[in-house]
Amino acid sequence: MQKREWVNIDAVVTAAAKQMEPSQMIKLDTFTLWDAMAALQIMEPRMDNGMRSLPTGETKWTVNQAKSIPSFSVDEIIGISDGLVVKLLSWLSGSHLSQTLFSCVLLHDVHACKSDLLRAVLLAFLKIANKLKTLIERARIAEDDEFFGVLPFGLSLADEVADAEAIEGLQSIEDFLGNELKLIRTRSDASPQDDSAAPLKADLLVESYLSALSYITRRNMGSAKKSLNQALAQIELGKASVGLGKDMRVAFDVTVNRKLLHDSAPRAIAECPTLEAAFTDLQTMITEMLEVVSLPSMGFGWDDTLTFVSQMGMRKVQPSVIARTVLYLNLTHSGKLFGKTTYALALTQSIITAYPSCAFLFTSADAVVKKYMTEFTNLVAGGVDEPQRQQEGSILERVLLVVSGFNRALARRNLAKLGRELETIQAATEAIDGALHEYLVTKGLFRGPSQAEEPYYLSSWIYELKFHILETYLHMGFELKLFSEFEYPTVLWYMDHVYEMHLGHLNRMAVVCAGDTVPVLELLWQFQQQRDLGGASPAINSSSGGPAAKKKSGHSNVKVLSMEGFVAKVASTVKSRDLSESMLVVRQLIGRGLMLFSFGARKAGFLQIPSFSAYSPEISYNHRFKLFMSMGSPSVQPFSDFQTSEAAFMQLTVRELVERAIMFFSEAQTLIEFVALLKARCVVGFESIASGTGASSAAGATSSSGKDEEETLAA
């Protein structure tokens, strides 16, 4: 029998390992991905799922050690509270609950903690995590890979403790903590502050935030708003008091729960942000929650609500996920918008606002007109004839829920379904429009601008809603990174076509309805004209010119209005719909700039189209826009049209393309600044009316902006 001896192969393995990249592994040809995942599943010790910790030399408390500590100083409690704030925000960024918040060994057995002060703080954090977990699971707006961490892995979230009990525990220690904090500031040689800033920041913040979450789950938005405002004020104190607590990293061990994660996908240990970053994210989250809980009291109709939820849905997922969750759960309930306005009423108000000349359709006493309008309303807002709509709600309700920030991967598929459903509804509504118009003309009841023209009010409103869905569908493709970089010129080009069709529809309806408002773009042009003419006046307005020259110039004595002053005078003529249309123009200008910039990148060789034989640009184009190809409107842009435009753009130099892109960006920036001032004026006016101060206070605020500019405008 041949004798076998052990051979040291450390040098060979070390040399081979140096040639490997991170995440690479050595395996036999027979060792498949299935075998690898099975090894992770059964916690095979020879497999590393990415959770193995490196030796750091830091001493950490064990759970048993933490339970046996008899007392904690206040600066230690502050340090632990600060650490829990950081871990809470790390969890809300998509990390595992067990790997972030439950890395605090003190949370594993809260009731065993011997410090009454610290136990109250720990219970409050567990209750907050419990509330947030419940909201996230109910709404399901986040992707599974982002919030797989809602699973507590059997760890307690203090279900046995009532909200009121946790809040009362914090309130009972508030005075004591305030006095102790003063002593800490004295010991650390910090500058003395007013007694109003003395209470412990983290604990007051936790108390207010827990109260707000408790109110939100009961849909008590008024009380939730008050608590969130208190929490927001405490964040400012928290930012100003960073550093008062003791470094308590000994109480946090990110590897303490790694055995609980064997059935999850390989994932690196989360890098928690700093305390300052955590407070900033928490401030953003609470501010957005404050926006959401304020909505029911603002009396928003359909248009304003759709605008708001679209903006909320496009915000960064973290840390906005909680605000989007609260919005999703409270946006619609009991078949009403915010539980107050029926969708039929919201639909009526929106159509009348968009097309005032069709208001008579909703108030007509004619039986036939009533029949057609009831058919339309049931079809769009209150249809209960089909079992699907009884279960899922009206098309309006589902549009809001999807656009408001629903699970983004699922939302895009749902948007495609909504687009096709709106296509069907649009066809049915066009038939109602045609029959209704024919009846009105026959009976002499038509009150439109022209009896010969069919305005198609109802189907036009559906068409506009469909545009909104299609545009969001394209935007979300960028957000989810579904488009390859070389596809950017193509997608942006098609997006520009959709914008052009949308604006063309709005302009057509503006002509048909003969509205009495001046478009925002026209107002911006007027401002630029008076500014340009005013800038030329000094050359004419000289002492040698005399009165005749001044009279001839016509504007030499006119003072140029600033943008703020001009907006103050014209804001009353602007409606929210005008602002929405202007923002559509802004998006088109930005999209055109990006399109030209991407063509410039392709021209420079950065966005090369795949050259392998299996790739077909036309097949890829038709697949990317197959949703649009399946619709009757807006008109489909064939691949040949894109090729023509692409050839024209590629004839320009890179410099010319970039310069044109910058021009569009500049125009968009100017329009954004103008619209922002208008929107601020409109919002202030709305809030003053809603609060009961009346128009007089708004007028008083306007008059204080300068008497000279009023006289200038009159001139």
Residue with tokens 């003529």: 573
How high is the pLDDT of residue 652?
95
How high is the pLDDT of residue 585?
93
How high is the pLDDT of residue 272?
64
Q: How far apart are CA 331 and CA 326, in angstroms?
A: 8
How high is the pLDDT of residue 301?
83
Q: How far apart are CA 496 and CA 45, in angstroms?
A: 55
pLDDT confidence bin for 570, thresholds 50/70/90 = confident
Q: What are the domain boundaries of the chain? A: 63-249+270-292, 299-482, 505-534+559-610+656-715
More confident residue, 382 or 402: 402
- Decide: 603 and 657 in contact? Cβ < 8 Å: yes
Burial class from Cβ neighbours inside 10 Å (0-12, 13-18, 19+) for residue 548 reads: exposed
- Average the pLDDT over 623-633 and give the result: 91
- Average the pLDDT over 29-34 and give the result: 65
Residue-wise pLDDT for 478-519, tens only, equals: 887 889 899 999 999 999 999 999 999 988 888 777 656 678
Q: DSSP 3-state assignment of 639?
A: helix
How high is the pLDDT of residue 45?
43
Residues 6+ apart with CB under 8 A from 278: 85, 86, 88, 89, 90, 272
Helix axes 302-313, 343-354, angle to 10 degrees: 100
pLDDT confidence bin for 444, thresholds 50/70/90 = confident
* H-helix segments, 113-220: 116-139, 163-172, 174-187, 201-217
Q: Name the DSSP letter for residue 380.
A: I
Residue-wise pLDDT for 331-371, tens only, equals: 888 788 888 888 999 999 999 888 887 888 888 888 999 99
Q: DSSP 3-state assignment of 661?
A: helix
How high is the pLDDT of residue 116?
86
Using omega within 30 degrees of 0 as the cis cutoff, is the peptide bond preceding 319 cis? yes
Count other C-beta atoms under 10 Å from residue 191's C-beta.
5
How high is the pLDDT of residue 464?
93
> Per mean pLDDT, which range of 38-42, 95-99, 565-569 is the poorest?
38-42
- Decide: 213 and 128 in contact? Cβ < 8 Å: yes
Q: What percent of the chain is modeled with pLDDT above 70? A: 73
Alpha-carbon separation of residue 293 from 188, 415, 470, 496 (angstroms): 40, 26, 28, 35
pLDDT confidence bin for 683, thresholds 50/70/90 = low
How high is the pLDDT of residue 63?
85
Alpha-carbon separation of residue 369 from 14, 184, 355, 372, 451 (angstroms): 85, 75, 17, 5, 17
How high is the pLDDT of residue 707?
38
pLDDT confidence bin for 218, thresholds 50/70/90 = confident
- Average the pLDDT over 608-622 and give the result: 87
How high is the pLDDT of residue 520?
84
Residue-wise pLDDT for 104-119, tens only, equals: 999 998 989 988 888 9
- CB contact burial 365-393 (16+ within 10 A = b; e otherwise): eeeebeebbebbbebbbbbeeeeebeeeb
- Decide: 92 and 129 in contact? Cβ < 8 Å: no
Q: What percent of the chain is modeled with pLDDT above 90? A: 21
pLDDT confidence bin for 132, thresholds 50/70/90 = confident
Residue-wise pLDDT for 581-600, tens only, equals: 888 999 999 999 999 999 99
- Decide: 524 and 674 in contact? Cβ < 8 Å: yes
How high is the pLDDT of residue 385?
46
- Average the pLDDT over 443-462 and give the result: 71
Reported pTM = 0.74
* Residue 342 host element (H or E): strand 341-342
How high is the pLDDT of residue 555?
46
Residue-wise pLDDT for 268-291, tens only, equals: 555 667 888 888 888 888 898 898
In this predicted structure, the answer to whether residue 245 has a pLDDT above a threshold of 90 is no
More confident residue, 181 or 247: 247
Of 596, 599, 600, the residue nearest 588 (C-alpha): 596
Residue-wise pLDDT for 641-660, tens only, equals: 999 999 999 999 999 999 99
Using omega within 30 degrees of 0 as the cis cutoff, is the peptide bond preceding 634 cis? yes
How high is the pLDDT of residue 133?
84
- Average the pLDDT over 424-437 and give the result: 91
Q: How far apart are CA 40 and CA 50, in angstroms?
A: 10
Q: DSSP 3-state assignment of 233?
A: helix
> Per mean pLDDT, which range of 31-35, 211-215, 492-496, 521-525 is the poorest?
31-35
Q: Return the sign of the alpha-carbon dihedral for residues 37, 42, 48, 54.
A: positive
Find how far residue 43's CA is from the centre of its chain.
Answer: 39
How high is the pLDDT of residue 636?
92
Of 539, 447, 481, the residue nearest 143 (C-alpha): 481
Burial class from Cβ neighbours inside 10 Å (0-12, 13-18, 19+) for residue 1 reads: exposed
Residues 6+ apart with CB under 8 A from 478: 491
- Average the pLDDT over 30-50 and give the result: 55
